[in-house]
């Protein structure tokens, strides 16, 4: 049996001491380079595969320095500080350019933690929304390949059907999951956190070039809770807080169907007027 | 004239090629090590002082690996990718331990950008709150030194007067500014984004050990807009989204008195039950 297309895309070969090689996947092609979510999942995978890993991801920050060129890349993941229950990671993706020089295309950091059960509570309740079976699938022809990897059911704030400049709000809510069944895990969740199309398209009902510059994911769920989600639906909500001089921020929340917050995620996104 | 206490605390001496030395300041002492906001401002200052800097900070992520020990430290700030209008930075703070080994105590990354005026809009309007002159100053005796560096006027969600476990909400709103007048700038704003006390104290009305693990700031204002704030008040709002197994996330917004969003900021925080 072949590996799932997602697992093929984030696959890495260890070449020693936190160094790995991987390659871009045409299944996750975006406008320029791959879908940012698959890049985030790939650098997280380098941490997950590291023999020195302590615990599970708590936070992940990925800075997109440049679009990856189609082809092979190198990933490094180094644990720079290991405490009793937390571990700090610095990661990077490099590619060799036409001149034979290694160029940094992605920088990243993560904190992993060995967690224990404590008093816990969700302050962001899942909004009241129709169940997935009552929501129509997203059927707009996709301009980019990676969107086909997901089954998306927009509840509100879908991509505007016409680009007429009438937007007034930046919030989207949608049900989402892999198009080809795959049990949810930490890398899968990191990618899902980047599924939302650029908020500026919605807010202005105007399609302008846009791309994520930096994203952060705070994991509230661990691998055991995500395994329980299995191939179930995840509710995603994203909205912008300010659009200012070429960049906007997006704040997002992802819940499982039972209404537990799986992660919060934030990003800052370039847009062109 | 002596430099402002904040500028003394973030002061760095360049020792060559993105390397600096600094020292902790007793004026910003926290429970363990210095106030996280002053550490965030210090690593950002290393970028601001770098001769290769392009533009101004757009995003900043700081990972607190360990509390800094009182005394000197080394900061490195390297531009790892410079594009036409954005620049990607990797930073770290190291200290030499008793065994004479350099230990990483902070990792960080930033994106700086040369911005130009575009279509802009704030989607997060400043909440309707009383003006600073109508709000009483925070007068609870401070358990830590750094809080004295700020003038704080809590509007809602102040530190609970009694630790009786009755908390039900995690949102705070307060006016804040430097106690000793200092014009607001990018490093000052980065520090202000970390002024909020741990959300778990408010949500549970229970005082448990807590400390920021990782924080991110997305700058919507540039240095010119911050200079206009001068020594004016900044409205801060912070709330948690989930408390889960030893860690909660905090999402914060900071506006100037005129109601313009200056930055959004997020962090994940350790708490002990």
Chain A residues in contact with B268 (beta carbon < 8 A): 58-59, 111, 218
> Is the Cβ of A58 closer than 8 Å to some Cβ of chain B?
yes
Q: How far apart are CA A269 and CA A213, in angstroms?
A: 5
> Is the Cβ of B124 closer than 8 Å to some Cβ of chain A?
yes
In a domain, A125, yes or no: no
Q: How far apart are CA A205 and CA A158, in angstroms?
A: 11
Work out the pLDDT band at B143, boundaries 50, 70, 90: confident
- Over residues A122-142, mean pLDDT: 91
- Per the listing, tokens 């995500």 go with A226
In a domain, A122, yes or no: no
List the single residue in A with minimal CA-CA distance to B171.
A123
Q: Which two tokens stand for residue A99?
A: 């001149």
Residue B25, classed as helix, strand or coil, is coil
**B109–A107 C-beta distance less than 8 A:** yes
Q: How far is CA B265 from CA A158, A168, B193, B220, in A?
A: 26, 24, 6, 11
**A246–B251 C-beta distance less than 8 A:** no
> Is the Cβ of B170 closer than 8 Å to some Cβ of chain A?
yes
> Is the Cβ of A139 closer than 8 Å to some Cβ of chain B?
no
> Is the Cβ of A163 closer than 8 Å to some Cβ of chain B?
no
**Portion of chain A with pLDDT greater than 90, in percent:** 93
Distance from CA of B1 to the nearest CA of A (A): 37
DSSP 8-class letter at B254: E
In a domain, B54, yes or no: yes
Q: Is the pLDDT of residue A141 over 80?
A: no
Q: Taking all residues of chain A, what is their mean pLDDT, rounded to a whole number? A: 96
Distance from CA of B216 to the nearest CA of A (A): 8
Tens digits of residue pLDDT in B159-174: 988 899 998 999 999 9
Q: What is the pLDDT of residue B139?
A: 78
Tens digits of residue pLDDT in B198-249: 999 999 999 999 999 999 999 999 999 999 999 999 999 999 999 999 999 9
**A103–B81 C-beta distance less than 8 A:** yes
DSSP 8-class letter at B38: H
Q: Is the pLDDT of residue B141 over 80?
A: no
Buried b (16+ CB within 10 A) or exposed e, B251-261: bbbbbbeeebb
In a domain, A121, yes or no: no
Q: Concatenated DSSP letters for B127-189? A: P----GGGSPPP-SPPSSGGGGGEEEEEEESPPPSS-SS------EEEEEEESS-----HHHH
Query: Which candidate from A58, A88, A271 shows the least CB-CB separation from B247?
Result: A58
Q: Which of B33, B59, B126, B165 to mutate to test the interface with A (most CBs of A within 10 A)?
A: B59
Distance from CA of B34 to the nearest CA of A (A): 18
Q: What is the pLDDT of residue A67?
A: 95
**Portion of chain A with pLDDT greater than 70, in percent:** 100
Query: Which candidate from A88, A268, A271 shows the least CB-CB separation from B65?
Result: A88
Query: Which candidate from B80, B92, B243 shows the least CB-CB separation from A121?
Result: B243
Q: What is the pLDDT of residue A2?
A: 84
Q: Is the pLDDT of residue B140 over 90?
A: no
Q: How far apart are CA B222 and CA A244, in angstroms?
A: 10
Tens digits of residue pLDDT in B172-202: 999 999 999 999 999 999 999 999 999 999 9
Predicted TM-score (pTM) of this structure: 0.98
Tens digits of residue pLDDT in B43-99: 999 999 999 999 999 999 999 999 999 999 999 999 999 999 999 999 999 999 989
Which range has the worst mean pLDDT, A153-167, A238-252, B4-18?
A: A153-167
Q: Which two tokens stand for residue B260?
A: 């313009």
Q: Concatenated DSSP letters for chain A? A: -PPPHHHHHH--EEEETTEEEEE--GGGB-SSSB-HHHHHHHHHHHHHT-TT--SEEEEEEEEE-SPPPSSEEEEEEEEEEE-SSEEEEEEEEEEE-TTS-EEEEEEEEEEEE-------EESSPPP----GGGSPPP-SPPSSGGGGGEEEEEEESPPPSS-SS------EEEEEEESS-----HHHHHHHTT-SPPHHHHHHT----EEEEEEEEEE-S-HHHHHHHTT--EEEEEEEEEEETTEEEEEEEEEETTS-EEEEEEEEEEE--
Question: Total structural domains in chain B?
Answer: 1
Query: Which candidate from A109, A118, A249 shows the least CB-CB separation from B63?
Result: A109
Work out the pLDDT band at A139, boundaries 50, 70, 90: confident
Q: What is the pLDDT of residue A1?
A: 66
B20 close to B14: Cβ distance less than 8 angstroms: yes
**B216–A123 C-beta distance less than 8 A:** no
B217 close to B263: Cβ distance less than 8 angstroms: yes
In a domain, A124, yes or no: no
Q: Is the pLDDT of residue B1 over 80?
A: no
CB pairs under 8 A between A and B: 204
Tens digits of residue pLDDT in A57-114: 999 999 999 999 999 999 999 999 999 999 999 999 999 998 999 999 999 999 999 9
Of residues A182 and B143, which shows the higher confidence score?
A182
> Is the Cβ of A216 closer than 8 Å to some Cβ of chain B?
yes
Chain A residues in contact with B271 (beta carbon < 8 A): 118
> Is the Cβ of A40 closer than 8 Å to some Cβ of chain B?
no
Tens digits of residue pLDDT in A226-261: 999 999 999 999 999 999 999 999 999 999 999 999
Q: What is the pLDDT of residue B161?
A: 85
Q: Is the pLDDT of residue A160 over 80?
A: yes
Phi, psi values for residue B111, rounded to 5°:
-120, 130
Distance from CA of B118 to the nearest CA of A (A): 5
> Is the Cβ of B168 closer than 8 Å to some Cβ of chain A?
no
> Is the Cβ of B163 closer than 8 Å to some Cβ of chain A?
no
Distance from CA of B116 to the nearest CA of A (A): 6
A144 close to A29: Cβ distance less than 8 angstroms: yes
**Portion of chain B with pLDDT greater than 90, in percent:** 93
Which range of residues forms the domain containing residue A257? 5-115+130-271
User: What is the CATH classification number for the domain harbouring B162?
Assistant: 2.40.160.210
**A109–B203 C-beta distance less than 8 A:** no
Residue B204, classed as helix, strand or coil, is helix
CB atoms closer than 10 angstroms to residue B18: 20
Residue A41 Cα to chain centre, angstroms? 7
Q: How far apart are the first and last CA of chain B?
A: 47
In a domain, B120, yes or no: no
Chain A residues in contact with B103 (beta carbon < 8 A): 81
Distance from CA of B211 to the nearest CA of A (A): 12
Phi, psi values for residue B4, rounded to 5°:
-60, 145
Q: What is the pLDDT of residue B247?
A: 98
> Is the Cβ of A32 closer than 8 Å to some Cβ of chain B?
no
> Is the Cβ of A121 closer than 8 Å to some Cβ of chain B?
yes
Query: Which candidate from A61, A83, A266 shows the least CB-CB separation from B66?
Result: A83
In a domain, A120, yes or no: no
Q: Is the pLDDT of residue A198 over 90?
A: yes
> Is the Cβ of A224 closer than 8 Å to some Cβ of chain B?
no
> Is the Cβ of B268 closer than 8 Å to some Cβ of chain A?
yes
Q: What is the pLDDT of residue B80?
A: 98
Angle formed at CA B97 by CA B96 and CA B98, multiple of 5 degrees: 130
List, as ranges, residues 173-212 from A with C-beta within 8 Å of B. Answer: 203-204
Phi, psi values for residue B43, rounded to 5°:
-70, -30
């Amino acid at each position: 049996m072949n590996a799932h297309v997602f697992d093929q895309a984030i696959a890495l070969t260890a070449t020693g001491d936190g160094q790995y090689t991987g390659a871009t996947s045409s299944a996750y092609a975006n406008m320029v380079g791959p879908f940012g979510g698959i890049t985030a999942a790939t650098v997280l995978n380098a941490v997950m595969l590291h023999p020195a890993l302590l615990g599970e991801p708590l936070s992940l920050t990925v800075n997109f320095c440049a679009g990856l060129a189609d082809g092979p890349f190198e990933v490094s993941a180094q644990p720079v500080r290991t405490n009793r229950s937390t571990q700090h990671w610095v990661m990077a993706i490099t590619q060799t350019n036409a001149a034979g020089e290694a160029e940094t295309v992605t920088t990243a950091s993560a904190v992993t933690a060995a967690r224990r059960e404590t008093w816990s509570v969700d302050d962001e309740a899942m909004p009241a929304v129709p169940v997935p079976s009552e929501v129509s699938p997203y059927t707009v022809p996709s301009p980019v390949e990676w969107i086909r990897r997901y089954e998306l059911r927009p509840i509100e704030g879908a991509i505007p059907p016409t680009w007429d400049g009438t937007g007034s709000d930046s919030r989207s809510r949608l049900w989402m999951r892999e198009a080809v069944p795959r049990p949810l895990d930490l890398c899968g969740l990191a990618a899902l956190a980047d599924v939302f199309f650029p908020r500026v398209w919605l807010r202005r009902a105007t399609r302008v070039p846009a791309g994520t510059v930096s994203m952060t994911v705070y994991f509230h769920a661990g691998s055991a809770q995500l395994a329980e989600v299995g191939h179930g639906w995840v509710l995603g909500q994203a909205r912008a807080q300010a659009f200012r001089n070429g960049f906007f921020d997006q704040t997002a929340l992802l819940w499982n169907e039972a209404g537990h917050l799986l992660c919060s995620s934030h990003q800052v996104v370039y847009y062109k007027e």
